Amino acid sequence: MNVAQLLVKCLENEGVEYIFGVPGEENIDLMDALLDSSIEFITTRHETSAAFMAGTYGRLTGKPGVCLATLGPGATNLLTGVANANMDHCPLIAITGQAGLNRQHKISHQYYDLVDIYAPVTKWNAQIKTGEIVPEVVRKAYQLAMQEKPGATHIDLPEDVAEMEVDVRPLPITGHSLPQADEKIIQEAVDLLSKSTHPIILAGNGITRGKATEELKALAEKADIPVVHSFMGKGALSWKHERSLLTAGLSGKDHITCGFEQADLIIPIGFDMAETPPQNWNPTGETPILHIDTEEAEIDSHYPVALNVVGDIKENLKQLSAAVPSNNRNLEWADSIRRKILDEYEHYQQDDGFPVKPQKIISDLREVLEDEDIVISDVGAHKMWMARMYHTAAPNTCLISNGLASMGVAVPGAIAAKMAAPDRKAVAVCGDGSFLMTGAELETAVRLKVPIIVLLWRDDGYGLIEWHQMKKFERPSYIEFGNPDFIKLAESFGMEAIQVNRTTDLRKALDQAVAMDTPVLIDCPVDYSENMKLTEKLNNITCD
Protein backbone atom coordinates (compact mmCIF):
# COMPACT_ATOMS: atom_id res chain seq x y z
CA MET A 1 0.00 0.00 0.00
CA ASN A 2 1.05 3.61 -0.33
CA VAL A 3 1.59 6.13 2.46
CA ALA A 4 -1.83 7.75 2.00
CA GLN A 5 -3.50 4.36 2.36
CA LEU A 6 -1.42 3.61 5.45
CA LEU A 7 -2.41 6.94 6.99
CA VAL A 8 -6.08 6.05 6.47
CA LYS A 9 -5.50 2.60 8.02
CA CYS A 10 -3.94 4.27 11.06
CA LEU A 11 -6.90 6.63 11.39
CA GLU A 12 -9.29 3.66 11.15
CA ASN A 13 -7.26 1.98 13.89
CA GLU A 14 -7.90 5.03 16.10
CA GLY A 15 -11.65 4.66 15.58
CA VAL A 16 -12.16 7.69 13.32
CA GLU A 17 -15.74 7.95 12.02
CA TYR A 18 -15.61 11.23 10.09
CA ILE A 19 -13.10 13.51 8.43
CA PHE A 20 -14.33 17.05 7.76
CA GLY A 21 -12.66 18.95 4.97
CA VAL A 22 -12.19 20.23 1.43
CA PRO A 23 -10.43 18.14 -1.26
CA GLY A 24 -7.44 19.59 -3.06
CA GLU A 25 -4.78 18.66 -5.59
CA GLU A 26 -2.08 17.86 -3.07
CA ASN A 27 -4.27 15.51 -1.02
CA ILE A 28 -5.77 13.50 -3.91
CA ASP A 29 -3.99 10.27 -2.87
CA LEU A 30 -5.52 10.58 0.57
CA MET A 31 -8.96 11.36 -0.88
CA ASP A 32 -8.73 8.28 -3.12
CA ALA A 33 -7.72 6.08 -0.19
CA LEU A 34 -10.80 7.23 1.74
CA LEU A 35 -13.07 5.74 -0.95
CA ASP A 36 -12.10 2.27 0.29
CA SER A 37 -12.34 3.19 3.98
CA SER A 38 -15.00 2.91 6.68
CA ILE A 39 -14.32 6.58 7.43
CA GLU A 40 -16.91 8.97 6.02
CA PHE A 41 -15.52 12.12 4.45
CA ILE A 42 -17.72 15.16 5.08
CA THR A 43 -17.18 17.67 2.29
CA THR A 44 -17.56 21.20 3.64
CA ARG A 45 -17.80 24.54 1.87
CA HIS A 46 -14.84 26.10 3.66
CA GLU A 47 -11.83 24.75 5.53
CA THR A 48 -12.46 26.89 8.63
CA SER A 49 -15.89 25.29 8.92
CA ALA A 50 -14.28 21.85 8.68
CA ALA A 51 -12.07 22.63 11.66
CA PHE A 52 -15.01 24.08 13.61
CA MET A 53 -16.89 20.83 12.97
CA ALA A 54 -13.95 18.71 14.07
CA GLY A 55 -13.47 20.78 17.22
CA THR A 56 -17.13 20.53 18.21
CA TYR A 57 -17.15 16.81 17.50
CA GLY A 58 -14.05 16.43 19.68
CA ARG A 59 -15.53 18.45 22.53
CA LEU A 60 -18.75 16.43 22.60
CA THR A 61 -17.28 12.95 22.15
CA GLY A 62 -13.92 13.30 23.90
CA LYS A 63 -12.33 11.71 20.80
CA PRO A 64 -10.32 13.89 18.43
CA GLY A 65 -12.29 15.26 15.52
CA VAL A 66 -10.33 15.10 12.28
CA CYS A 67 -10.19 17.80 9.61
CA LEU A 68 -8.40 17.95 6.29
CA ALA A 69 -7.22 20.66 3.90
CA THR A 70 -4.80 21.00 1.06
CA LEU A 71 -1.68 23.18 1.16
CA GLY A 72 -1.42 26.97 0.94
CA PRO A 73 -4.77 28.78 1.31
CA GLY A 74 -6.56 25.56 2.25
CA ALA A 75 -4.22 25.08 5.19
CA THR A 76 -4.30 28.73 6.25
CA ASN A 77 -8.12 28.70 6.10
CA LEU A 78 -8.10 25.62 8.34
CA LEU A 79 -5.79 27.34 10.82
CA THR A 80 -8.43 29.52 12.55
CA GLY A 81 -10.61 26.54 13.45
CA VAL A 82 -7.58 24.58 14.65
CA ALA A 83 -6.51 27.47 16.87
CA ASN A 84 -10.07 27.74 18.17
CA ALA A 85 -10.13 24.06 19.18
CA ASN A 86 -6.68 24.24 20.75
CA MET A 87 -7.50 27.21 22.95
CA ASP A 88 -10.86 25.68 23.96
CA HIS A 89 -9.12 22.37 24.78
CA CYS A 90 -11.10 20.36 22.21
CA PRO A 91 -9.21 17.30 20.92
CA LEU A 92 -8.57 17.67 17.18
CA ILE A 93 -6.28 16.25 14.49
CA ALA A 94 -5.59 18.51 11.50
CA ILE A 95 -4.17 16.95 8.33
CA THR A 96 -2.80 19.07 5.52
CA GLY A 97 -1.62 18.19 2.05
CA GLN A 98 1.72 19.70 1.16
CA ALA A 99 4.09 20.40 -1.68
CA GLY A 100 6.46 17.55 -2.50
CA LEU A 101 9.81 17.29 -0.73
CA ASN A 102 11.46 17.95 -4.08
CA ARG A 103 10.30 21.59 -4.12
CA GLN A 104 10.27 22.64 -0.46
CA HIS A 105 13.80 24.07 -0.64
CA LYS A 106 12.74 26.94 -2.91
CA ILE A 107 9.95 29.43 -3.58
CA SER A 108 7.19 27.27 -4.96
CA HIS A 109 3.51 27.40 -5.93
CA GLN A 110 1.30 27.62 -2.78
CA TYR A 111 4.14 26.41 -0.55
CA TYR A 112 4.59 27.65 3.03
CA ASP A 113 6.19 25.73 5.87
CA LEU A 114 3.01 24.53 7.55
CA VAL A 115 4.81 22.90 10.46
CA ASP A 116 6.12 26.33 11.40
CA ILE A 117 2.77 28.04 10.77
CA TYR A 118 0.81 25.52 12.86
CA ALA A 119 3.30 25.26 15.72
CA PRO A 120 1.88 28.16 17.81
CA VAL A 121 -1.72 26.86 17.62
CA THR A 122 -1.17 23.16 18.27
CA LYS A 123 0.17 20.98 21.07
CA TRP A 124 2.43 19.16 18.59
CA ASN A 125 2.84 18.77 14.85
CA ALA A 126 5.05 17.01 12.35
CA GLN A 127 5.60 16.46 8.65
CA ILE A 128 5.69 12.91 7.29
CA LYS A 129 8.93 12.70 5.33
CA THR A 130 9.07 8.91 5.07
CA GLY A 131 6.29 6.33 5.11
CA GLU A 132 7.74 4.20 7.90
CA ILE A 133 7.00 6.86 10.52
CA VAL A 134 3.27 7.16 9.77
CA PRO A 135 2.08 4.81 12.56
CA GLU A 136 4.22 6.65 15.12
CA VAL A 137 3.11 10.08 13.95
CA VAL A 138 -0.60 9.19 14.01
CA ARG A 139 -0.38 7.48 17.40
CA LYS A 140 1.51 10.41 18.90
CA ALA A 141 -0.89 12.94 17.38
CA TYR A 142 -3.82 11.12 18.96
CA GLN A 143 -2.17 10.58 22.31
CA LEU A 144 -1.22 14.23 22.71
CA ALA A 145 -4.53 15.57 21.40
CA MET A 146 -6.43 13.58 24.04
CA GLN A 147 -4.13 14.05 27.02
CA GLU A 148 -5.12 16.72 29.53
CA LYS A 149 -5.35 19.42 28.67
CA PRO A 150 -6.66 18.29 25.27
CA GLY A 151 -6.06 20.29 22.14
CA ALA A 152 -5.05 20.20 18.50
CA THR A 153 -2.24 18.35 16.76
CA HIS A 154 -1.26 18.57 13.10
CA ILE A 155 0.05 16.14 10.48
CA ASP A 156 1.53 17.49 7.23
CA LEU A 157 1.72 15.08 4.28
CA PRO A 158 3.74 16.04 1.17
CA GLU A 159 2.18 14.87 -2.08
CA ASP A 160 5.23 12.89 -3.25
CA VAL A 161 5.47 11.06 0.09
CA ALA A 162 1.74 10.23 -0.03
CA GLU A 163 2.21 8.06 -3.14
CA MET A 164 5.31 6.18 -1.92
CA GLU A 165 4.95 2.44 -1.28
CA VAL A 166 5.35 1.29 2.33
CA ASP A 167 5.07 -1.95 4.29
CA VAL A 168 4.26 -1.17 7.93
CA ARG A 169 1.14 -1.48 10.11
CA PRO A 170 -0.71 0.73 12.62
CA LEU A 171 0.47 0.67 16.22
CA PRO A 172 -1.68 -0.70 19.06
CA ILE A 173 -3.60 1.90 21.05
CA THR A 174 -2.53 2.48 24.63
CA GLY A 175 -4.60 4.21 27.29
CA HIS A 176 -3.51 6.99 29.59
CA SER A 177 -4.35 7.97 33.12
CA LEU A 178 -3.84 10.89 35.46
CA PRO A 179 -2.30 10.74 38.94
CA GLN A 180 -4.24 11.53 42.10
CA ALA A 181 -3.28 14.01 44.79
CA ASP A 182 -1.80 12.38 47.89
CA GLU A 183 -3.55 12.33 51.25
CA LYS A 184 -1.43 15.17 52.63
CA ILE A 185 -2.61 17.54 49.86
CA ILE A 186 -6.22 16.47 50.31
CA GLN A 187 -5.98 17.16 54.04
CA GLU A 188 -4.50 20.60 53.38
CA ALA A 189 -7.44 21.30 51.09
CA VAL A 190 -9.85 20.18 53.82
CA ASP A 191 -8.11 22.50 56.28
CA LEU A 192 -8.47 25.44 53.90
CA LEU A 193 -12.17 24.71 53.47
CA SER A 194 -12.68 24.31 57.21
CA LYS A 195 -11.19 27.74 57.91
CA SER A 196 -13.30 29.39 55.22
CA THR A 197 -16.68 30.92 56.07
CA HIS A 198 -17.66 32.05 52.54
CA PRO A 199 -16.07 29.69 49.98
CA ILE A 200 -17.29 29.70 46.39
CA ILE A 201 -16.60 27.18 43.61
CA LEU A 202 -15.84 28.35 40.07
CA ALA A 203 -16.70 25.43 37.78
CA GLY A 204 -14.72 25.28 34.54
CA ASN A 205 -14.75 23.18 31.40
CA GLY A 206 -12.34 20.63 32.90
CA ILE A 207 -15.13 19.22 35.07
CA THR A 208 -17.02 18.19 31.95
CA ARG A 209 -13.90 16.81 30.27
CA GLY A 210 -13.14 14.83 33.42
CA LYS A 211 -16.72 13.52 33.74
CA ALA A 212 -16.73 14.86 37.28
CA THR A 213 -20.16 16.50 37.49
CA GLU A 214 -21.51 14.07 40.09
CA GLU A 215 -18.40 14.53 42.22
CA LEU A 216 -18.78 18.31 42.00
CA LYS A 217 -22.39 18.02 43.13
CA ALA A 218 -21.40 15.77 46.05
CA LEU A 219 -18.77 18.24 47.26
CA ALA A 220 -21.06 21.25 46.88
CA GLU A 221 -23.80 19.51 48.85
CA LYS A 222 -21.66 18.04 51.63
CA ALA A 223 -19.53 21.13 52.23
CA ASP A 224 -22.47 23.43 51.42
CA ILE A 225 -20.59 25.55 48.86
CA PRO A 226 -22.29 27.63 46.14
CA VAL A 227 -21.14 26.99 42.57
CA VAL A 228 -20.74 29.54 39.79
CA HIS A 229 -19.86 28.49 36.24
CA SER A 230 -17.57 29.91 33.60
CA PHE A 231 -19.01 30.32 30.10
CA MET A 232 -17.46 26.98 29.11
CA GLY A 233 -18.28 25.26 32.39
CA LYS A 234 -22.03 25.79 32.08
CA GLY A 235 -24.07 22.82 33.26
CA ALA A 236 -21.46 21.29 35.55
CA LEU A 237 -24.11 21.75 38.26
CA SER A 238 -27.71 21.99 37.12
CA TRP A 239 -29.21 25.47 37.15
CA LYS A 240 -32.13 23.95 39.07
CA HIS A 241 -29.89 23.01 42.01
CA GLU A 242 -30.23 25.40 44.94
CA ARG A 243 -26.45 25.79 45.20
CA SER A 244 -26.04 26.90 41.59
CA LEU A 245 -25.19 30.59 41.16
CA LEU A 246 -25.44 30.22 37.40
CA THR A 247 -22.76 31.83 35.20
CA ALA A 248 -19.92 34.32 35.52
CA GLY A 249 -17.82 35.75 32.73
CA LEU A 250 -19.05 39.19 31.76
CA SER A 251 -16.35 41.80 32.20
CA GLY A 252 -17.43 44.38 34.74
CA LYS A 253 -20.06 44.15 37.43
CA ASP A 254 -22.89 41.61 37.62
CA HIS A 255 -24.97 40.01 40.37
CA ILE A 256 -22.35 37.28 40.78
CA THR A 257 -19.73 39.96 41.46
CA CYS A 258 -21.34 40.29 44.87
CA GLY A 259 -20.75 36.59 45.43
CA PHE A 260 -17.05 36.87 44.69
CA GLU A 261 -16.84 39.95 46.94
CA GLN A 262 -18.30 37.87 49.79
CA ALA A 263 -15.90 34.96 49.21
CA ASP A 264 -12.93 34.39 51.47
CA LEU A 265 -11.82 31.36 49.41
CA ILE A 266 -12.33 30.81 45.68
CA ILE A 267 -12.14 27.22 44.44
CA PRO A 268 -11.68 27.03 40.65
CA ILE A 269 -12.16 23.45 39.48
CA GLY A 270 -11.13 22.45 35.97
CA PHE A 271 -10.82 26.12 35.16
CA ASP A 272 -8.84 27.46 32.19
CA MET A 273 -7.53 31.04 32.29
CA ALA A 274 -8.86 31.69 28.77
CA GLU A 275 -12.42 31.20 30.04
CA THR A 276 -12.59 34.42 32.07
CA PRO A 277 -9.66 36.49 33.40
CA PRO A 278 -9.16 36.27 37.18
CA GLN A 279 -8.98 40.06 37.28
CA ASN A 280 -12.73 40.07 36.52
CA TRP A 281 -13.67 38.11 39.64
CA ASN A 282 -10.72 38.66 41.99
CA PRO A 283 -9.88 42.29 41.16
CA THR A 284 -7.73 42.95 44.22
CA GLY A 285 -5.94 39.63 43.92
CA GLU A 286 -6.34 39.17 47.66
CA THR A 287 -8.84 36.31 47.89
CA PRO A 288 -6.89 33.03 48.13
CA ILE A 289 -7.33 30.31 45.53
CA LEU A 290 -7.74 26.56 46.11
CA HIS A 291 -6.81 25.35 42.63
CA ILE A 292 -8.19 21.94 41.60
CA ASP A 293 -7.19 20.87 38.10
CA THR A 294 -5.14 18.45 36.04
CA GLU A 295 -2.21 20.89 35.96
CA GLU A 296 -0.78 23.50 38.27
CA ALA A 297 -2.18 26.97 37.85
CA GLU A 298 -1.01 29.53 35.33
CA ILE A 299 0.84 32.38 37.04
CA ASP A 300 -1.43 35.40 37.41
CA SER A 301 -1.24 38.18 39.99
CA HIS A 302 -5.03 37.98 40.45
CA TYR A 303 -4.87 34.20 41.02
CA PRO A 304 -3.00 33.80 44.33
CA VAL A 305 -2.84 30.03 44.78
CA ALA A 306 -2.91 28.91 48.40
CA LEU A 307 -2.87 25.25 47.35
CA ASN A 308 -2.68 23.23 44.11
CA VAL A 309 -4.66 19.97 44.07
CA VAL A 310 -3.37 18.49 40.84
CA GLY A 311 -4.35 15.33 38.99
CA ASP A 312 -7.50 13.47 38.05
CA ILE A 313 -10.32 15.90 38.85
CA LYS A 314 -12.94 13.20 39.32
CA GLU A 315 -10.83 11.15 41.74
CA ASN A 316 -9.53 14.16 43.65
CA LEU A 317 -13.06 15.49 44.16
CA LYS A 318 -14.08 12.05 45.43
CA GLN A 319 -11.26 12.12 47.97
CA LEU A 320 -12.05 15.67 48.99
CA SER A 321 -15.77 14.95 49.41
CA ALA A 322 -15.01 11.92 51.55
CA ALA A 323 -12.60 13.85 53.78
CA VAL A 324 -14.41 17.17 54.20
CA PRO A 325 -16.83 17.41 57.15
CA SER A 326 -20.51 18.04 56.49
CA ASN A 327 -21.43 21.68 56.78
CA ASN A 328 -24.57 23.73 57.04
CA ARG A 329 -23.47 27.25 56.20
CA ASN A 330 -25.47 30.44 56.38
CA LEU A 331 -25.88 31.05 52.67
CA GLU A 332 -28.48 33.79 52.66
CA TRP A 333 -26.08 35.90 50.57
CA ALA A 334 -25.87 33.15 47.93
CA ASP A 335 -29.63 32.56 47.95
CA SER A 336 -30.17 36.29 47.42
CA ILE A 337 -27.84 36.38 44.41
CA ARG A 338 -29.45 33.29 42.89
CA ARG A 339 -32.92 34.78 43.32
CA LYS A 340 -31.93 38.06 41.62
CA ILE A 341 -30.51 36.19 38.61
CA LEU A 342 -33.57 33.98 38.24
CA ASP A 343 -35.96 36.91 38.74
CA GLU A 344 -34.30 38.66 35.82
CA TYR A 345 -34.73 35.57 33.65
CA GLU A 346 -38.40 35.19 34.60
CA HIS A 347 -39.19 38.89 34.21
CA TYR A 348 -39.08 38.74 30.40
CA GLN A 349 -41.03 35.54 29.84
CA GLN A 350 -44.22 37.42 28.93
CA ASP A 351 -42.55 40.42 27.23
CA ASP A 352 -44.18 41.21 23.87
CA GLY A 353 -41.98 44.09 22.67
CA PHE A 354 -40.81 43.93 19.06
CA PRO A 355 -38.12 43.55 17.80
CA VAL A 356 -37.71 40.75 20.30
CA LYS A 357 -35.62 41.44 23.38
CA PRO A 358 -32.61 39.13 23.89
CA GLN A 359 -34.01 38.01 27.25
CA LYS A 360 -37.28 36.92 25.60
CA ILE A 361 -35.51 35.01 22.82
CA ILE A 362 -33.55 33.09 25.43
CA SER A 363 -36.59 32.43 27.59
CA ASP A 364 -38.55 30.99 24.66
CA LEU A 365 -35.59 28.89 23.51
CA ARG A 366 -35.06 27.49 27.00
CA GLU A 367 -38.74 26.63 27.34
CA VAL A 368 -38.83 24.76 24.02
CA LEU A 369 -35.64 22.70 24.31
CA GLU A 370 -35.13 19.65 26.51
CA ASP A 371 -32.36 19.66 29.11
CA GLU A 372 -30.16 17.38 27.00
CA ASP A 373 -30.51 19.30 23.73
CA ILE A 374 -27.45 21.17 22.48
CA VAL A 375 -27.15 24.87 21.73
CA ILE A 376 -24.02 26.24 20.06
CA SER A 377 -23.63 29.97 20.49
CA ASP A 378 -21.71 31.92 17.92
CA VAL A 379 -19.64 34.96 18.89
CA GLY A 380 -21.28 38.37 19.14
CA ALA A 381 -23.67 40.25 21.40
CA HIS A 382 -25.95 37.22 21.50
CA LYS A 383 -23.11 35.21 23.04
CA MET A 384 -23.01 37.50 26.08
CA TRP A 385 -26.76 37.16 26.55
CA MET A 386 -26.71 33.40 26.04
CA ALA A 387 -23.81 32.91 28.43
CA ARG A 388 -25.48 35.00 31.09
CA MET A 389 -29.12 33.90 30.77
CA TYR A 390 -29.41 30.55 28.95
CA HIS A 391 -29.36 28.28 31.97
CA THR A 392 -28.29 24.66 31.65
CA ALA A 393 -29.06 21.46 33.52
CA ALA A 394 -26.31 19.30 32.01
CA PRO A 395 -22.76 19.81 30.74
CA ASN A 396 -22.02 20.38 27.05
CA THR A 397 -25.57 21.51 26.33
CA CYS A 398 -24.63 25.14 25.70
CA LEU A 399 -21.33 25.31 23.85
CA ILE A 400 -19.62 28.67 23.98
CA SER A 401 -16.19 29.23 22.50
CA ASN A 402 -14.50 31.58 24.92
CA GLY A 403 -10.83 30.94 24.27
CA LEU A 404 -10.12 32.15 20.74
CA ALA A 405 -13.84 33.01 20.49
CA SER A 406 -13.98 32.90 16.71
CA MET A 407 -17.02 34.14 14.81
CA GLY A 408 -18.67 31.62 12.51
CA VAL A 409 -18.45 28.60 14.78
CA ALA A 410 -22.16 27.95 15.37
CA VAL A 411 -23.57 26.63 12.08
CA PRO A 412 -20.73 24.14 11.40
CA GLY A 413 -20.67 23.36 15.11
CA ALA A 414 -24.37 22.50 15.12
CA ILE A 415 -23.88 20.15 12.17
CA ALA A 416 -21.11 18.31 14.02
CA ALA A 417 -23.13 18.28 17.26
CA LYS A 418 -26.08 16.64 15.52
CA MET A 419 -23.75 14.06 13.99
CA ALA A 420 -22.15 13.34 17.37
CA ALA A 421 -25.51 13.20 19.20
CA PRO A 422 -28.22 12.38 16.63
CA ASP A 423 -30.92 11.84 19.27
CA ARG A 424 -30.64 15.41 20.60
CA LYS A 425 -31.71 18.68 19.02
CA ALA A 426 -28.88 20.92 17.84
CA VAL A 427 -29.44 24.67 17.62
CA ALA A 428 -27.02 27.24 16.19
CA VAL A 429 -27.60 30.63 17.80
CA CYS A 430 -26.09 33.21 15.43
CA GLY A 431 -25.90 36.90 14.85
CA ASP A 432 -26.24 38.07 11.27
CA GLY A 433 -22.56 39.05 11.30
CA SER A 434 -21.27 35.65 12.41
CA PHE A 435 -23.82 33.68 10.37
CA LEU A 436 -22.63 34.96 6.99
CA MET A 437 -19.03 34.01 7.80
CA THR A 438 -19.87 30.30 7.54
CA GLY A 439 -23.46 30.37 6.27
CA ALA A 440 -22.51 28.41 3.16
CA GLU A 441 -22.58 25.33 5.41
CA LEU A 442 -26.37 25.45 5.18
CA GLU A 443 -25.77 23.56 1.94
CA THR A 444 -23.76 20.97 3.88
CA ALA A 445 -26.60 20.48 6.38
CA VAL A 446 -29.12 20.05 3.56
CA ARG A 447 -26.88 17.71 1.56
CA LEU A 448 -26.22 15.53 4.61
CA LYS A 449 -29.85 15.75 5.77
CA VAL A 450 -28.70 16.93 9.19
CA PRO A 451 -31.74 18.55 10.88
CA ILE A 452 -30.18 21.50 12.66
CA ILE A 453 -32.04 24.65 13.74
CA VAL A 454 -30.42 28.02 12.99
CA LEU A 455 -31.82 30.76 15.25
CA LEU A 456 -30.66 34.00 13.67
CA TRP A 457 -30.63 37.18 15.80
CA ARG A 458 -30.78 39.94 13.16
CA ASP A 459 -29.78 43.53 13.93
CA ASP A 460 -28.02 44.51 10.66
CA GLY A 461 -24.71 45.28 12.32
CA TYR A 462 -21.87 44.11 14.54
CA GLY A 463 -23.88 44.46 17.75
CA LEU A 464 -21.20 43.42 20.24
CA ILE A 465 -18.68 45.88 18.85
CA GLU A 466 -21.26 48.65 18.93
CA TRP A 467 -21.96 47.76 22.58
CA HIS A 468 -18.29 48.20 23.45
CA GLN A 469 -18.03 51.40 21.40
CA MET A 470 -21.05 52.91 23.14
CA LYS A 471 -19.68 52.03 26.57
CA LYS A 472 -16.34 53.68 25.88
CA PHE A 473 -17.07 56.47 23.41
CA GLU A 474 -20.87 56.83 23.47
CA ARG A 475 -21.02 56.64 19.67
CA PRO A 476 -20.81 53.78 17.16
CA SER A 477 -18.15 53.47 14.48
CA TYR A 478 -18.61 51.57 11.18
CA ILE A 479 -20.60 48.65 12.54
CA GLU A 480 -23.59 48.69 10.16
CA PHE A 481 -23.94 46.45 7.12
CA GLY A 482 -26.61 45.23 4.71
CA ASN A 483 -28.17 41.78 4.73
CA PRO A 484 -29.73 39.47 2.16
CA ASP A 485 -33.25 38.19 2.50
CA PHE A 486 -32.39 35.36 4.90
CA ILE A 487 -35.64 33.51 4.23
CA LYS A 488 -34.98 33.39 0.48
CA LEU A 489 -31.32 32.56 1.12
CA ALA A 490 -32.18 29.56 3.30
CA GLU A 491 -34.88 28.40 0.89
CA SER A 492 -32.41 28.62 -1.99
CA PHE A 493 -30.31 26.01 -0.18
CA GLY A 494 -33.38 23.78 0.19
CA MET A 495 -33.98 24.61 3.87
CA GLU A 496 -37.18 25.38 5.65
CA ALA A 497 -37.26 29.03 6.78
CA ILE A 498 -39.52 30.90 9.20
CA GLN A 499 -39.80 34.68 9.57
CA VAL A 500 -40.58 36.19 12.98
CA ASN A 501 -42.74 39.27 12.41
CA ARG A 502 -44.03 39.69 15.95
CA THR A 503 -42.85 38.45 19.31
CA THR A 504 -45.59 35.84 19.60
CA ASP A 505 -44.29 34.27 16.36
CA LEU A 506 -41.02 33.22 18.00
CA ARG A 507 -42.34 30.52 20.31
CA LYS A 508 -44.50 29.13 17.49
CA ALA A 509 -41.50 29.11 15.15
CA LEU A 510 -39.33 27.29 17.68
CA ASP A 511 -42.03 24.70 18.36
CA GLN A 512 -42.45 24.19 14.63
CA ALA A 513 -38.70 23.87 14.03
CA VAL A 514 -38.26 21.37 16.86
CA ALA A 515 -41.06 19.22 15.45
CA MET A 516 -39.49 19.11 11.97
CA ASP A 517 -36.90 16.54 10.95
CA THR A 518 -35.15 18.84 8.52
CA PRO A 519 -32.77 21.84 8.61
CA VAL A 520 -34.65 25.02 9.58
CA LEU A 521 -33.65 28.69 9.77
CA ILE A 522 -35.55 31.17 11.95
CA ASP A 523 -35.00 34.87 11.16
CA CYS A 524 -35.67 36.81 14.37
CA PRO A 525 -35.13 40.59 14.59
CA VAL A 526 -33.50 41.45 17.95
CA ASP A 527 -33.74 44.61 20.02
CA TYR A 528 -30.15 45.37 20.98
CA SER A 529 -31.10 48.62 22.68
CA GLU A 530 -31.20 46.20 25.63
CA ASN A 531 -27.39 46.02 25.55
CA MET A 532 -26.81 49.47 26.99
CA LYS A 533 -29.80 49.11 29.30
CA LEU A 534 -28.10 46.05 30.76
CA THR A 535 -24.83 47.97 31.11
CA GLU A 536 -26.59 50.73 33.02
CA LYS A 537 -28.41 48.22 35.20
CA LEU A 538 -25.22 46.36 36.07
CA ASN A 539 -23.42 49.59 36.88
CA ASN A 540 -26.10 50.31 39.48
CA ILE A 541 -25.81 46.95 41.25
CA THR A 542 -24.98 47.32 44.93
CA CYS A 543 -23.80 44.44 47.07
CA ASP A 544 -25.62 44.21 50.41
pLDDT, average across residues 480-491: 97
Q: Are residues 30 and 64 in the same domain?
A: yes
pLDDT above 90 covers a percentage of the chain that reads 88
Q: Is there a domain that residue 326 lies in?
A: yes
**pLDDT tens readout for residues 419-478:** 999 999 999 999 999 999 999 999 999 999 999 999 999 999 999 999 999 999 999 999
95: pLDDT strictly greater than 80: yes
The DSSP output letter for 458 is E
Q: Are 204 and 148 in contact (CB under 8 A)?
A: no
Strands (DSSP E) found in 362-481: 374-377, 398-400, 426-431, 453-458
Q: Is there a domain that residue 219 lies in?
A: yes
**pLDDT the model gives residue 40:** 98
Cα distance between residue 375 and residue 394, in whole Å:
12
250: pLDDT strictly greater than 80: no
Q: Are residues 308 and 395 in the same domain?
A: no
Q: Is there a domain that residue 176 lies in?
A: no
Residue 110: which pLDDT band, with cuts at 50, 70 and 90?
confident
**pLDDT the model gives residue 176:** 80
Q: Can you spell out the DSSP letters for 179-229?
A: ----HHHHHHHHHHHHH-SSEEEEE-HHHHHTT-HHHHHHHHHHHT--EEE
Last residue within a domain, chosen from 276, 298, 333: 333
**pLDDT the model gives residue 357:** 97
Residue 270: which pLDDT band, with cuts at 50, 70 and 90?
very high
**pLDDT the model gives residue 177:** 84
Q: Is there a domain that residue 169 lies in?
A: no
Number of domains making up the chain:
3
Q: Are residues 360 and 315 in the same domain?
A: no
Q: What is the CATH number of the domain that holds 287?
A: 3.40.50.1220
Q: Are residues 140 and 217 in the same domain?
A: no
Q: Is there a domain that residue 338 lies in?
A: no
**pLDDT tens readout for residues 338-356:** 999 999 899 999 999 999 9
Q: What is the CATH number of the domain that holds 458?
A: 3.40.50.970
Give the range of the structural domain holding residue 150, as residue numbers without chain letter: 3-162
Cα distance between residue 84 and residue 302, in whole Å:
25
Q: Are residues 417 and 523 in the same domain?
A: yes
304 vs 249: which has the higher pLDDT: 304
Cα distance between residue 218 and residue 216, in whole Å:
5
Strands (DSSP E) found in 288-377: 289-293, 305-310, 374-377
Q: Are residues 320 and 358 in the same domain?
A: no
Cα distance between residue 497 and residue 508, in whole Å:
13
* CA neighbours closer than 13 Å in the CB half-sphere of residue 363: 18
Q: Which of 243, 266, 241, 245 is nearest to 254 (CA)?
A: 245
312: pLDDT strictly greater than 90: yes
**pLDDT tens readout for residues 28-67:** 999 999 999 999 999 999 999 999 999 999 999 999 999 9
**pLDDT the model gives residue 500:** 98
Helix (H) / strand (E) containing 193: helix 183-195
Cα distance between residue 101 and residue 156, in whole Å:
11
Q: Are residues 380 and 455 in the same domain?
A: yes
Q: Are residues 235 and 326 in the same domain?
A: yes
CA angle 144, 147, 152 (to 5 degrees): 50
251: pLDDT strictly greater than 80: no
Q: Is there a domain that residue 201 lies in?
A: yes
**pLDDT the model gives residue 516:** 94
Q: Are residues 272 and 395 in the same domain?
A: no
471 alpha-carbon distance from chain centroid: 27
**pLDDT the model gives residue 533:** 92
Last residue within a domain, chosen from 333, 366, 384: 333
Q: Are residues 414 and 473 in the same domain?
A: yes
Helix (H) / strand (E) containing 539: helix 529-539
Residue 540: which pLDDT band, with cuts at 50, 70 and 90?
confident
pLDDT, average across residues 506-534: 96
Last residue within a domain, chosen from 283, 302, 333: 333
Q: Is there a domain that residue 24 lies in?
A: yes
Q: Is there a domain that residue 175 lies in?
A: no
544: pLDDT strictly greater than 80: no
**pLDDT the model gives residue 66:** 98
- The overall average pLDDT reported for the chain is 95
Name beta bridge partners: 42. Answer: 20
Q: Are residues 327 and 231 in the same domain?
A: yes
Q: Are residues 286 and 363 in the same domain?
A: no
319: pLDDT strictly greater than 80: yes
Query: Which region among 17-21, 102-106, 110-114 has the lowest average model confidence (pLDDT)?
Result: 102-106
**pLDDT tens readout for residues 142-200:** 999 999 999 999 999 999 999 999 999 999 998 888 899 999 999 999 999 999 999 99
pLDDT, average across residues 130-153: 97
